[in-house]
Amino acid sequence: MRIQVSGIDLIRDEKGAWRVLEDNVRVPSGVSYVISNRRVMAQTLPELFVSMRVRPVGDYPHKLLQALRASAPDGVEDPSVVVLTPGVYNSAYFEHTLLARLMGVELVEGRDLFCSGGRVWMRTTAGPTRVDVIYRRVDDEFLDPLQFRADSMLGSPGLLLAARLGNVTIANAVGNGVADDKLVYTYLPELTKYYLGEEAILPNVQTWRLEEPGSLEEVLDRLHELVIKPVDGSGGKGLVIGPDATNDELADLKVRLLRDPRGWIAQPVVQLSTIPTLVDTGMRPRHADLRPFAVNDGKDIWVLPGGLTRVALPEGELVVNSSQGGGSKDTWVVGQDPLTVSRHSIQGLVAGQAAATESISIVTSETIAVKEHAPQDHAPEDRPKGNGQQEQQQQARSRQLRQSRERLRDAGTEGAREQGSSC
């Protein structure tokens, strides 16, 4: 099994039809927003969750942990699961810590792991502990310096060998990024029909493959009215919206398309549906999309009854990514019996809706007075910063290592001087 969790971006076009905009099966992120938004809403408007049939999102950590444990190597009855993070400087670190905490598993960095005898081990104060499943939030190229980038300090040497030997499961699997490729996206309806013998339930957005005869010429003629995307882009990086681009930007884009047509796709400008959004000037319509999350345990696929609704906060903006200034909203799925929760049991309501744990405090009326004058802690934002975020993490680690070596060298030089003086 290669995909334990996926996040598929959906939109509703100007005609009200739902379409698939993008697939995310490599390292899908954003579920921490879903859980955090639900916690805030359940605390702020508990009466709505009691009177309306809102399905909770609190089962997600449990479902994810079940899927990860089910993917353990053969013969492992009680698998050890860890969440692998690039570290505290990563923009999604808050999500990594939240999921590890809610699943009750260890959060580790590459330096916490080592490989020996074709197996992966975790360093602990009680000695090495075997690791069976790694829920990795690190890109492929940084996972193993023996197989990919030799300068990577974010992974662990030998990780891929242990996976090849079947001694550890990496979730999601290495290489899944091929399915995130925007050119592969254009073939998915045909792949669905070929392998499953049925039509896709939700259609894709109309897309031009620029490497096909005639497509490049048509796109170049209509460059000012189309959206052009790099096939390997993410987070809105490299995207060009023709109607908003300057003549110089379009001229530069034309040169790049002619140089590498295989590296780009083109789509019409889809006027995303709008939802009421509270901004500085009041309640205004803003464009939005929806990212539902699906968890696969090998026997069944469970879809989170909610999702990440991303909102483009600037007026008229169509790019909803948080790296481009977007926000998010709590998303409700209704359809179960009304909740039977005591009107005073807000803590129980929040716990049921958003998987609260003892390590994540719940604010109730009894605790407001106590916390009113206490210092405020602010969690780091889970804001994707594009493809370069792990390069930045790598550079930070390299600087730390270089500074440590310089301090050791200086200390050694100073010690040699002292010994010379004593002689």
Question: pLDDT tens-digit profile of 103-139?
Answer: 999 999 999 999 999 999 999 999 999 999 999 999 9
Integer Cα distance of 25 and 234 in angstroms? 12
CB 169 within 8 A of CB 161: no
Integer Cα distance of 198 and 189 in angstroms? 9
Structure confidence at residue 232 (pLDDT):
83
Tokens representing 13 are 């076009």
Integer Cα distance of 170 and 177 in angstroms? 14
CB 335 within 8 A of CB 53: yes
Buried b (16+ CB within 10 A) or exposed e, 192-206: eeeeeeeeeeeebbe
Percent residues over pLDDT 90 in the chain: 63
- Domains by residue range for the chain, with CATH: 5-13+24-176+288-371 (3.40.50.11290), 206-268 (3.30.1490.270)
Instruction: Return the higher-pLDDT residue of 410 and 9.
Output: 9
Tokens representing 86 are 């690039």
Structure confidence at residue 271 (pLDDT):
87
Question: pLDDT tens-digit profile of 263-297?
Answer: 999 999 998 999 999 988 899 999 999 999 999 99
Instruction: Indicate whether 400 pLDDT > 80.
Output: no
Structure confidence at residue 91 (pLDDT):
86
**What is the CB neighbour count within 10 angstroms for residue 415?**
10
Percent residues over pLDDT 70 in the chain: 79
Integer Cα distance of 379 and 31 in angstroms? 15
pLDDT, mean over the chain: 84
Do you find a cis peptide bond into 387, omega within 30 degrees of 0? no
Instruction: Indicate whether 6 pLDDT > 60.
Output: yes
